[in-house]
Structure 1
Amino acid sequence: MLPAFGLYTHIQANRRRSALLIAGLFLLFYLMSLGLALLLRAATDDGSSPFEALFLGALRDCLWLSPPVTALVALWVWCGFRFNGFILGLAAGTQPLTRRAAPRLYDLLQNLCISRGMAMPQLRIVETEASNAFASGTRPEQYTITVTRGLLDLLDERELEAVLAHELTHIRNDDVRTMTVAVLVVGVISFVGELVYRGLRESSGLLDDSSDGKGGGGRALAILVAALFIFVAWGLSLVIRFSLSRRREYLADAGAVELTKNPDAMIAALRKIAGKGELEGVPSAVMELCLDNPRSGFADLFATHPSIEDRIAALVRHAGGRDPGAVPSAA
């Protein structure tokens, strides 16, 4: 979380940082491709080739495979950009929310958009008691803010305005576009990584060198190095994806305060939704787009969002907000 002064400088810096991280994701994809090529060379070798020959062969394979691999990744990302709204709607079970059904929500969003000269996103709803919201879309005609029924029932008008401002900031900062690319690329890397892991676990015999001694253990070493490349690419892609998610939440909180001039409302909204945002049956990729993602990982390293406590502390420290403390649980 950063002070309002200089916020746009931090937003620009985060965009540059995000662009570098996205570029890093694509480089990891090529690292995984090299690992796959080396693994294929080793699996089809009779055990007589030294490691150097297998590795150089895999490098040659990658060179001529790079254009079609790049084209396939580009096609995959394009399809994701084109149909992400439809896919998200199916995954989260969203429905259109009309002005007649939620006039105050429409008025709040319209006023925020007018204040920043933005086109008004579509509004959709998930009929669940969970309290959450997320922004989606990769171009203006797709931009959508989705809220849950639980969120509408739980928050008052000023808190709803803060949540809408938070999601609008994600749209203004191109967060939804960045996360769409990250989810698509990491999804492919994770899928391939899991396939390789299962394949190696079920085919441990590949590590047995059947050479006559000339290979010097080349096939076994090639398989180990290939697995290392693939699993390093897999692990780093997850770290990059989670890093992108965590940083953007602080900036979106700051953007909400900048839009509403009311840090207390953002703090109150975060306090109320804490522990109530889990959307049952919704994929983790969708939860990463949400206002809060209660799912977290080992030692908080793989948590996709900063904790509610950390976000509130940042709002108190940098935006002058007042924390009312945890909201008592309903009896």
Structure 2
Amino acid sequence: MAVHGYVTHAARNRRFTALLVLGYIVAFELIGAFVLTMLLLIVDQEHTILSDPVGYALRYGLPVAIFSALLFRRLYRGHADAVMHGLGVQIVSRADEPRFVAIAEQACTTLGVRLPRFGVLDVNEPNALTIGEGPNCGLIVVTRGLLERLDDDELLAVLAHEASHIRQGDTRLLAANHALMRTTVLLQIHNPLRFEDWRQMILPLLLPPLLLVMLAGGATTMAAMTLARFARRGLKLGRDHIADGEAVRVTHFPEALLSALVKIGGHGAFVGSQRVEGALFDGPADHEGGTHPAIEARRDAISKLGQGMMDSSRQRRDTRSAPRARFGHARSARLLYPADATGRPLEPPPTATLGRFVQRFTDPDAHRQWQEACIAWCEWRVSDGRNAIGLAPMMIIPVAAIAMFLLVFWWPADGDLSKLAARFGPGALVEMAREVNSGPECIGPSYRDGICPEYQYSPGQLAAKRAKFAKVATEASVEPAVLVQPSAASGLAMPLFLLLLICLAVASPRLMRRLVGVVDAGTTTIDDEMSARLNEPSGPIGAASQSGQRPRASAHPVATDFGRKRV
């Protein structure tokens, strides 16, 4: 829907925020069903998403929805704190930054916005951002470069623009989007039923029903991630035009906003800014992959809107003081895990250990940075090139090879596809869990139903055992020949094993070489290196190759450096 003004835009933000909350609950229910599958197969295999979707929805749908709503509220209200810790923002008061806080309070009061917290980011790039709303969840941040480059009127125009985002509901929409994306990433990381590494290939080999279940889990996770990214694209470019218009309306000084755009435009990118680009005053334009209009378009719109208010003879206010050195007050931002512009760490973070758990109490800041690094490292990104079922390019061939191997190996000898469906269907996994949880089994002529007299079975365990032995007796009486007939596919084990090795060689040649014990050709030993040094030509580099003659060994041995061992 097109946005024509403040009222329409604010109403649209309220509707879209409500849709985000609904989409959040749907995404949480989808991935949560697969996250809970392994637990429910142990404690309640009769009401899993695999065995009885309707029963699962009736029994666990409402509790999961309530839990997701509580988690959404926590992430929604904690958006400002997450940004503050992620960027290293320092909360300031009027005593710390009197000029900035006084002008910010003036802008918020003029627009009728409840005063949020105010923060300063110690970077030289000029920019500002706004997160959340209210005194507890709201935050307006400016960089040190912005405070040093703008006069009072320019700073008031920028802060009025930021306060307008709070008034028209843009910060609520950003917080809801943050909660949706954050929860989706957490569920994606903790969903065990997805193919992420080649070592997981052993699971469907041991339990064939897991193949379809893990593919479905990956597809559900990918659908939830797509929903979260679609919500981010719901941020309209018109929100900055409307905020600029509100800033001009309350300041009556369009020249100040224009000159601020000239000083800031294209110079506001700092380390970590891409992670909060939707909340920035100056962010990437839409044609650059961002969610902001171009600076030229904003300047043209402001010039047309404030044409009647411009007065070149108007005097500017400027109460800036010269920057003074504050000895002993330099902030030492401890960055334990350096990251790129998108927030992904440059190196994989350490694995979880008992020491990491203890660090939660001994060094909370380091533990929080480690958690954030782990989440950012495992997050699925658009650049990963995953397909609709969540498979990365390097996993497509191994998964296809395993699927083909299992399909041929378990193909029924009589061509009955119902047996194949029973083998790979999710019901087979439920049957395995039901058998494991049915209690001990006594075998012998005196125990025709497998029930041990000394063991106290639950009613569910008794029903499971009786159903199992009734099924076995029926199969033995109807198809006795089939029960003893060996599978025709067993003779294909060796050819299929060779096919698996070929697929592995195609998908990961380096791993195949390691499995068979072949050393890479690029590795050299110390003896090989010394032999190569003895055969080097004594003349300038390239002289022997240019003359067409083979290099000759030196007549004198190469002198060794005592005490220095070459590694």
TM (normalized to structure 2)?
0.45
Superposed CA RMSD in Å reads 3.9
Which deviations, in whole Å up to 9, do the C-alpha atoms of 1:87-138 show, x marking residues without a partner? 4332222223343554443443343334334444333211111211122344
Find out whether 1:271 has 2:266 as its counterpart.
no
After TM superposition, the structure 1 stretch with the greater mean CA deviation from structure 2, 95-104 or 229-238, is: 95-104
- Asked if the contact 1:2/1:318 (under 8 Å) is kept, the reply is no
Find out whether 1:238 has 2:229 as its counterpart.
yes
Larger gyration radius, structure 1 or structure 2: 2
After TM superposition, the structure 1 stretch with the greater mean CA deviation from structure 2, 81-90 or 14-23, is: 81-90
State the Cα distance separating 1:197 from its structure 2 match.
Answer: 9.1
Partner of 2:21: 22
Partner amino acid for 1:72? Answer: F
Which deviations, in whole Å up to 9, do the C-alpha atoms of 1:135-186 show, x marking residues without a partner? 2344345433211110111223322112101111122123323322321221
Partner amino acid for 1:278? Answer: A
* Matches of 2:299 and 2:214, distance apart in 1: 48
Partner of 1:121: 116
Partner of 1:291: 281
* Matches of 1:15 and 1:82, distance apart in 2: 17
**Structure of greater relative contact order (alpha carbons < 8 Å, 6+ residues apart):** 1
State the Cα distance separating 1:85 from its structure 2 match.
Answer: 4.3
Partner of 1:305: 292
* Among 245, 248, 252, the residue aligned to 1:257: 248
- Asked if the contact 1:138/1:177 (under 8 Å) is kept, the reply is yes
- Asked if the contact 2:161/2:244 (under 8 Å) is kept, the reply is yes
- Asked if the contact 2:193/2:218 (under 8 Å) is kept, the reply is no
* Matches of 1:54 and 1:8, distance apart in 2: 44
Partner of 1:162: 157
Sequence identity percentage: 28
After TM superposition, the structure 1 stretch with the greater mean CA deviation from structure 2, 222-231 or 157-166, is: 222-231
Partner of 1:90: 85
Partner amino acid for 1:275? Answer: G
**Structure with a larger share of its residues in helix:** 1
TM (normalized to structure 1)?
0.72
Distance verdict in 2 for CA 1:31–1:128, change over 3 Å: same
Distance verdict in 2 for CA 1:314–1:33, change over 3 Å: farther
* Matches of 1:156 and 1:17, distance apart in 2: 37
After TM superposition, the structure 1 stretch with the greater mean CA deviation from structure 2, 100-109 or 155-164, is: 100-109
Partner of 1:49: none
Partner amino acid for 1:97? Answer: V
- Taking the TM superposition and a 5 Å limit, the aligned residue runs for 1:27-176 are 27-34=26-33, 36=35, 55=50, 57-58=52-53, 60-81=55-76, 83-99=78-94, 102-176=97-171
Question: How many residues end up aligned between the 2 structures?
Answer: 301
1:61 alignment partner, SS class: helix
Query: Which structure 2 segments of 5+ residues have no match?
Result: 43-47, 311-567
- Asked if the contact 1:209/1:220 (under 8 Å) is kept, the reply is no
After TM superposition, the structure 1 stretch with the greater mean CA deviation from structure 2, 94-103 or 226-235, is: 94-103
- Asked if the contact 1:96/1:123 (under 8 Å) is kept, the reply is yes
1:145 alignment partner, SS class: strand
After TM superposition, the structure 1 stretch with the greater mean CA deviation from structure 2, 176-185 or 275-284, is: 275-284
After TM superposition, the structure 1 stretch with the greater mean CA deviation from structure 2, 151-160 or 104-113, is: 104-113
Distance verdict in 2 for CA 1:85–1:13, change over 3 Å: closer
Find out whether 1:190 has 2:189 as its counterpart.
no
* Matches of 2:141 and 2:305, distance apart in 1: 28
Distance verdict in 2 for CA 1:15–1:257, change over 3 Å: farther
